Chains A and B, each alone.
Chain A
Amino acid sequence: MNMHGARKDLLAGAVFVCFGLAFALTAGSYDVGSALRMGPGYFPLVLGGLLVVLGIAIAVKAFVAGEGGDLGAVPWKALVLLVVALLFFGYTVRGLGLVPSLLVTVFLTALAGRNARVIPAALVAASLTALSILIFVIALQLRLPYFGFWLQG
């Protein structure tokens, strides 16, 4: 048995079991009702239970016949930078406005590349912000203010 492969399937099973439990338990707190008059909790409760069963089946199968394949490297730096960049955009696009918010977001994203350096990333940020404004605000007439109310104090 390939331990790496088994671990991969075990993890997949665990992820599904966790999601299934979370949905099923929460659904149980809503009005479940009966098959005749289904409450809002009925459908998610059944599906959550099903997901738990499927998750367990995947995990069990991992012991019997684990698929091969390594998990491989995880680009942690890129992962963190992309998430921070997206959260920053969502959090500030109204307050700071499109231009500053997008500049920072693209800059952080560009830093996520392998061997990325600060100055090229800043250039990418500046040119992509300009391009986005051209496409979204000027050509497509999307009404997004360049600078938000936080800056107009």
Chain B
Amino acid sequence: MDILQNLGLGFETAFTPINLLFAFIGVALGTAVGVLPGIGPTATIAMLLPITFGFEPVTSLIMLAGIYYGAQYGGSTTAILINLPGESSAAVTALDGHQMAKQGRAGPALATAALGSFFAGTVGTLALALFAVPISQAALLFGAPEYFSLVVLGLIASIALASGSVLKALAMIVLGLLLGTVGQDTFSGTPRFTFGLRELYGGLDFVALAVGLFGVAEILRNLEGDITRSVMVQKVKNLWLTKDDFRRIRGPVLRGTGLGTVLGVLPGAGHVLASFVSYSVEKRVSKRPQEFGKGAIEGVAGPESANNAAAQTQFVPLLTLGLPVSPIMALLLGAFIIQGIVPGPNVINEEPALVWGLIASMWIGNLFLVLLNLPLIGLWVKMLTIPYRFLFPAIIAFASIGTFSINRNPFDVYAIAFFGILGYVLIKLGCEPAPLLLGFVLGPLLETYLRRSLIISDGDPTVFVTRPISLVLLLLALGAFVIAVLPTVRKKRDVVFEEED
């Protein structure tokens, strides 16, 4: 059994004291930013990426990944207690979770979220371990044309699964691709779009871009209005489930986990989609659909499991193909690159301890999260009393220091300001920033594979459709695009994202 051997290696790596410590720090930080509105995991990972330079690659990735799935837990806590989803995927949890809290059943709601998440996280981690090897072996057959088509598929699919205007999302991707071309051209060495500034030869810094788009732009959004949070939480008691509760959540947890595991692999906001889909499924199969929206425990169990299973399987494309499916995965891809590891199908063979250590750490991290979230719930609620006027200067301070420390390049700090304004303007005009970041990270790959393919094929552009794997990937991309623009599907998609508002 290879898989047991692999997981054994993983746990051996993850159980070293330093890795345990950073897994803990990661999930604790993740829970904190998940709880705190106004700062999300994307900005946090971007800010902390620079300071993980000095760490071992596996330690750095364990911590950064922990922030991500920790935030999923934290987001649901505030969704339940104060009807304030700290994270987009927790929006569904707020529907029934907060109703339960109002009826004095906050304890069971939190316990359901934590247990469902833990179960789903475990299954998701197992699925990741099972599929990582076969997928990466298949990917070893890929040449430049296949990779080109794969990146195209990833980019197109991320639009199909997002909410909002397809045209705007496409434009954001193209703008991201263009911003990714700034700097020296890898083939000819020609500096592009540098305005003659040496500081721009290395390209725009992607940490600066992420911090600007997701940190500064978000601060400006929040400063538009008054942020006054009244935290009125009664003491949470009864953190356990009755036998009847257990019976009611069994089905939703299983179905949610299955849905999340599958949907998480898809590019775009897989975990958000998973939680919405799970909610509609539970409502449909329930014998008491009228209870939904009024505190049905199934409405917490299903989406929470779906969301956390998806959070784990989102790592599959990243670890096996080197293809990030969401902005956070794009940041983790950046973490690989910063550590000098080229992401792709070879990583799993060349750095087995890294990949399996990361996978194993996620299971350990999920266990930490249950322990952190149930008994220490009061602590997280207290965090909500940190006033925003203290929080956003901290974001700016940490972002500036972190970004500057990467290259000691003042330009990277200026870039935060530039992208902050750009991001703010675009968000104001109804454009989501996530596709831009994805385009920015994948742009250089797309161009390299395109040019390499055409060199190999002697300039014959049909190379992308005459190679079968590449053709299939492009057809899938076309299919995803058609789905995204078809009016009937669009309507359904909007319903999925909006019906619960």
Give residues in A with beta carbon < 8 Å to B: 8-9, 11-12, 15-16, 19-20, 23, 26-27, 30-31, 34-41, 43-44, 47-48, 50-51, 54-55, 57-58, 61, 67, 69, 71-75, 78-79, 82-83, 85-87, 89-91, 93-94, 98, 102, 105-106, 109-110, 112-114, 116, 120, 124-125, 128-129, 131-132, 135-136, 140-142, 144
Contacts and interface: CB of A to CB of B under 8 A. Distances in A.
Nearest to A67: B430
A15 B425 contact: yes
B70 to A, nearest CB: 19
A19 B187 CA distance: 24
A35 B462 CA distance: 12
B392 to A, nearest CB: 7
B193 interface: yes
Interface string B51-83: 100100000000000000000000000000000
B275 to A, nearest CB: 25
Q: Give the one of B400, B413, B455 with max A CB within 10 A.
A: B400
A105 B193 contact: no
B370 interface: no
Interface secondary structure of A, over-half rule = helix
Contacts of A51: 171, 174-175, 178
A113 B43 CA distance: 19
Nearest to B447: A43
Interface stretch (B104-112, B297-305, B317-325, B401-409): B401-409
B454 interface: yes
Nearest to B455: A37
B171 A124 contact: no
18 contacts: A8-B428, A8-B429, A12-B430, A20-B178, A23-B181, A34-B459, A36-B454, A36-B458, A38-B454, A40-B187, A61-B167, A72-B428, A83-B421, A85-B396, A109-B393, A112-B392, A113-B388, A114-B226
B224 A73 contact: yes
A120 B188 CA distance: 53
Contacts of B174: 20, 47, 50-51, 54
Contacts of B461: 35
B411 interface: yes
Given A36-B454, A67-B430, A132-B398, A89 B413 contact: yes
Interface stretch (B215-223, B245-253, B351-359): B215-223
Q: Give the one of B165, B192, B450 with max A CB within 10 A.
A: B192
Contacts of A132: 397-398, 401
B234 to A, nearest CB: 30
Q: Shortest 6 CB-CB distances between A and B: which pairs?
A: A36-B459, A90-B413, A40-B185, A12-B429, A90-B410, A86-B417
Interface in B447-477: 447, 450-451, 454-455, 458-459, 461
B237 interface: no
Given A67-B430, A83-B421, A89 B400 contact: yes
Given A31-B188, A113-B389, A114-B223, 12 more contacts: A9-B430, A12-B171, A16-B171, A16-B175, A58-B165, A71-B428, A89-B413, A90-B400, A90-B412, A93-B410, A98-B401, A102-B400
Contact of B429 (A15, A43, A54, A83): A15
A57 B404 contact: no
Q: Give the one of B167, B393, B451 with max A CB within 10 A.
A: B393
A110 B392 CA distance: 8
A128 B397 contact: yes
Contacts of A136: 51, 401-402, 405
B416 interface: yes
B192 A27 contact: yes
B22 to A, nearest CB: 12
Contacts of B429: 8-9, 11-12, 15
B222 to A, nearest CB: 9
A104 B450 CA distance: 47
B393 to A, nearest CB: 4
A58 B178 contact: no
Interface in B420-451: 420-421, 424-426, 428-431, 447, 450-451
